[in-house]
Amino acid sequence: MLNPGEVAPAFSLTSDSGTTVTLSELLAQGPLILYFYPADFTPVCTAEACMYRDAASELAAVGARVVGVSPQNATSKAAFKSKHGLNFLLLADPGNEVGKKYGAEGWFGLPFGKRRLTYLIGRDGKVMDVVAADFRVSKHAAFVKQAIGRLNEQR
């Protein structure tokens, strides 16, 4: 897992619409809530995605946007996005290569599973804050509220 102050690793991934998206393109638009989740359509991941969907307008009001990343392909991302009315970008990370760079692998240090992590990344590409909670969406929801407050103070 990356720590606050570290530079977020660059990436280039396929979006739910099939286009290629880079971290630098995303950060050019402002701060980023970048979250890693294990899988589309699972109960906890769906609850988390819906929480981000519901917070997206509050984040936009402070100049931030949400982007979710998991190992499933772009077709799965498009179906997941459509089914749940998600209003933010989903990125496919087959093989979890980007997830590994961000520490989103292995629950509790074990060599299997995908971690549920949320990063707040500043426009400068540095990690401002991070939360890891593999099974509790409530910690990610509290993190988003704190991020909104922090970004609002910086405006």
Give per-residue pLDDT as tens, 8-27: 999 999 999 999 999 999 99
Known active-site residue 50: no
Give per-residue pLDDT as tens, 79-128: 999 999 999 999 999 989 999 999 998 655 544 568 899 999 999 999 99
Tally the domains of the chain: 1
Range of the domain at 123: 12-154
**What 3-state DSSP class applies to 147?**
helix
Residue 64 has pLDDT above 90, yes or no: yes
Instruction: Report the candidate in 151, 153, 132, 136 with the shortest Cα–Cα distance to residue 30.
Output: 151
Find the CATH number of the domain harbouring 45. 3.40.30.10
Distance CA 22, CA 55 (A): 23
Instruction: Report the candidate in 88, 87, 64, 86 with the shortest Cα–Cα distance to residue 149.
Output: 64
User: Is-contact 127 150, C-beta < 8 A?
Assistant: no
Catalytic residue among 27, 45, 86, 131: 45
